[in-house]
């Protein structure tokens, strides 16, 4: 049979990462490919206590339908967490979603007509690019420098391109590059958003995982006109298995997201929301985040050390001050997709950088994740990768 699908399906392809992750499930593979948090750090014992308490105290409520907006005590806890990034939002400005991936999908659904333009970083998060693609936008990607987008290029784009519906940025420890926007560029972004009347989508899964340096205010903090939509998630500060994230936006905008959620899947899991709310309220998430940061920092250091010692000089890499990823740039003649095949032969996996470009044609980079592998595997895997790279550069 050949069924007649909608036109939008022509643009939807399997995520290279999710397909790679299937391969990398084999235990002998040392994988720098996924964006998996370290599962040995999950607060399993705490969640055992919590799941019992939630069901004993409010089982009937936990297993029943709830409000589309989300469980109110969880939304209250979320507003407290957002104060860390100096974003001042109210519980009624929060919609609980199934991870921040759902926030990405809903953002495109809310703003994008076919042919509208999305402005984003070059490179940007693969999962966002593929979520957006289904809504048939044009992408204009703006060079991502060490401290954020090239703002001249951004302003030129906003001045000349029509129907720019939003600017999508990951300001802290960006996926894939690990780069962080400076305060100056955060302010300038708001200024340009206001001047050219464009919505800003701030995707911030990693901001709380800062190993060193100063904790920066979120872009939402500088928002003067309610045009910043903030996407948050518990996947990196607690765990991804509950699939809980959130959208924070002005009442007008968040109400639209809520309408979308109603039609899309009614609501996030009631019981998961109640459990995570209890963890945030009655347990020590700050201590938990400290533990995560300690481990990830050590792993970043190990990864950087091998690169410094073993990678050829023509190969450069970012030094992330937090988050889960570093970004390696190879000489232009090298295609990292070929490199990935050779690395897999040595049981090492990474994601070729080309996947992170909204518009194709950039194949000489790689994204490396350091959160998911044990220390000794990081060292061993990076050494093998160094061999593969040296071989390719010969």
Binding to a second copy (CB under 8 A): which residues in 199-258?
A: 199, 225-227, 235, 239-243, 250, 252-253, 256
- Strands (E) located in the chain: 30-31, 94-97, 117-122, 138-145, 148-149, 164-169, 199-203, 228-233, 245-248, 316-317, 325-329, 348-349, 351-352, 365-369
| Interaction residues for a second copy, span 27-66 (CB under 8 A) | 34, 36-37, 39-40, 42, 44, 47-48, 51-52, 55-56, 59-66
Is 139 near a second copy (CB under 8 A)? no
**Residues 351-380 interacting with a second copy (rule: CB under 8 A):** none
Cβ-based nearer residue to a second copy, 40 or 212 = 40
Q: Least Å distance between CB 51 and a second copy?
A: 4
Answer yes or no whether residue 162 interacts with a second copy by CB under 8 A. no
C-alpha span between 96 and 11 (Å, rounded):
28
Report which secondary-structure segment, H or E, holds 141. Answer: strand 138-145
> Cβ 130 to a second copy, closest distance in Å?
5
**Side-chain half-sphere exposure of 312, counting CA atoms within 13 A:** 14
Going by C-alpha positions, the residue among 302, 328, 304, 305 that lies closest to residue 315 is 328
Q: Least distance to a second copy from the beta carbon of 172, Å?
A: 21
Which helix (DSSP H) or strand (DSSP E) does residue 328 occupy?
strand 325-329
Which of 10, 152, 265, 309 contacts a second copy by CB under 8 A? Answer: 265
- Which among 18-26, 282-290, 292-300, 335-343 is the span making contact with a second copy, rule CB under 8 A? 18-26
Q: How many residues bind a second copy (CB under 8 A)?
A: 84
Structure tokens that stand for 44 in this block: 């399993």
370 close to 325: Cβ distance less than 8 angstroms: yes
Stretch in the footprint of a second copy (CB under 8 A) among 83-91, 133-141, 205-213, 326-334: 133-141
Residue 372 Cβ, how far from a second copy at the closest point, in Å?
9
Q: Does 102 bind a second copy (CB under 8 A)?
A: yes
Under DSSP, the state recorded for 64 is S
6: contact with a second copy by CB under 8 A: yes
When the beta carbons of 97 and 318 are compared against a second copy, the nearer one is 97
| Residues 139, 23: Cα–Cα separation, whole Å | 30
Nearest-angstrom CA–CA distance, 280 and 263: 29
């Amino acid at each position: 049979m050949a069924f007649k699908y909608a036109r939008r399906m022509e643009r939807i392809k399997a995520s290279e990462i999710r397909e790679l992750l299937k391969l990398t499930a084999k235990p002998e593979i040392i994988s720098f490919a996924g964006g998996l948090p370290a599962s040995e750090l999950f607060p399993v014992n705490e969640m055992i206590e919590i799941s019992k308490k939630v069901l004993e105290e409010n089982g009937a409520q936990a297993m029943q339908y709830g409000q589309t907006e989300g469980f109110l005590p969880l939304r209250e806890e979320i507003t407290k967490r957002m104060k860390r990034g100096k974003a001042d939002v109210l519980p009624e400005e929060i919609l609980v979603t199934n991870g921040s991936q759902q926030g990405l999908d809903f953002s495109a659904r809310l703003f994008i007509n076919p042919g509208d333009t999305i402005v984003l970083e070059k490179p940007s998060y693969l999962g966002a690019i593929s979520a957006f693609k289904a809504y048939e936008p044009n992408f204009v990607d703006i060079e991502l420098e060490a401290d954020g987008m090239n703002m001249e290029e951004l302003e030129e784009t906003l001045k000349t391109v029509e129907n720019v519906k939003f600017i999508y940025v990951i300001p802290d420890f960006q996926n894939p590059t690990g780069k962080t926007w400076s305060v100056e560029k955060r302010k300038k972004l708001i200024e340009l958003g206001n001047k050219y009347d464009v919505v800003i989508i701030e995707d911030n899964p990693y901001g709380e995982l800062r190993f060193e340096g100063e904790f920066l205010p979120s872009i939402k903090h500088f928002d003067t006109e309610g045009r910043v939509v903030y996407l948050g998630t518990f996947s990196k500060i607690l765990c991804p298995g509950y699939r809980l994230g959130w959208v924070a936006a002005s009442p007008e905008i968040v109400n639209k997201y809520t309408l979308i959620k109603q039609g899309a899947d009614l609501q996030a899991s009631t019981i998961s929301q109640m459990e995570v709310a209890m963890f945030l309220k009655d347990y020590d998430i700050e201590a938990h985040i400290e533990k995560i940061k300690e481990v990830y920092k050590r792993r970043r250091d190990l990864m950087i050390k091998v690169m410094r010692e073993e990678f050829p000089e023509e190969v450069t890499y970012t030094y992330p001050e937090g988050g889960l990823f570093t970004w390696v740039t190879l000489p232009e003649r090298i295609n990292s997709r070929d490199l990935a095949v050779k690395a897999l032969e040595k049981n090492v996996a990474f994601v070729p950088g080309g996947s992170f470009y909204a518009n194709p044609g950039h194949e000489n980079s790689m994204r490396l994740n350091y959160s998911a592998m044990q220390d000794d595997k990081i060292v061993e895997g990076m050494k093998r990768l160094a061999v593969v790279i040296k071989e390719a550069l010969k």
